[in-house]
Amino acid sequence: MLTSSLRSGITAASLGVVLVAAPVMAETEQDPWEGFNRSIYSFNETVDRYALKPLAQGYRYVTPDVAEKGVSNFFDNIADVGNLFNNLLQFKFEAAGKTFARLTFNSTFGLAGLIDVATPMGIEAHEEDFGQTLGYWGVGSGPYLMLPLLGPSTVRDGLAKPVDWMVDPVGDVDHVPTRNTLYGLRLVDTRSRLLKAEQIISGDKYAFIRDAYLQRREYQINDGAVKVKYDSDF
């Protein structure tokens, strides 16, 4: 569950999208619980500094690039199960068809997803989660919310997470040690993907991550059809 939510949080690719524009400071009504959120953020940062980040750095150091890429591809392929589910809920049938094709090709010709054969074939990914589905159908995001260990979220996205966990294939693995190993490996893989992206974070790190997350979610829910806002100093 931890890795699934982290994955729905800021990924390296999605962070690159929001950084095309300068970070937009959230208005007061977007973050009315800032004091509480900052305390949770500080706790998360401590856990990351002394546990997650060193683990991810060690993983990247000892793992050959080809193996690391294979692990990332494997978990991306698993995530397409949830992507398919949410594309269908949003009646995005073309995207659902492409996602199903990605699952089919990558799970078979791609050796259980270790090799991404779909992208070179022109079958692009369409990432969707249940928070996006709720937003697509008009459910407001509610205030920004920093969750312990799970990272940046909103009230809507936080309430949607149990549905994402329910459709996560890793949770269906009956063998408990195997399931926990997959959770742990996905956590390390997710954190390792952020090592380069975090280098461009500047200023108030809490505010930067908050604004990046909120802008990214708006971008995702509206399929990129959003107006870009800039602060007065940009």
**8-34 per-position pLDDT tens digit:** 444 433 434 333 333 444 356 899 999
Q: 21-35, 146-160, 219-233: which has the highest mean pLDDT?
A: 146-160
Which range is least confidently modeled, 79-88, 182-191, 225-234? 225-234
pLDDT at 163 over 50: yes
Ranges of each domain in the chain? 2-221
Condensed to tens digits (0 to 9), the pLDDT of residues 52-102 reads 999 999 999 999 999 999 999 999 999 999 999 999 999 999 999 999 999
Question: Looking at residues 197-220, what average pLDDT do you find?
Answer: 93
Distance CA 147, CA 191 (A): 17
Question: What pLDDT score was predicted for residue 202?
Answer: 84
Of 128-142, 159-173, 189-203, the one with minimum mean pLDDT is 189-203
Cα distances (angstroms) measured from residue 56 to each of 18, 71, 96, 188: 24, 13, 32, 5
Closest CA to 83 of 100, 69, 68: 100
Q: What is the structure's pLDDT at 233? A: 45
Q: What are phi and psi of 145, to 5 degrees?
A: -145, 120
Residue 227 has a pLDDT of 62
Highest mean pLDDT among 12-16, 158-162, 226-230: 158-162
pLDDT of residue 122: 96
Percent of the chain past pLDDT 90, that is, above it, reads: 79
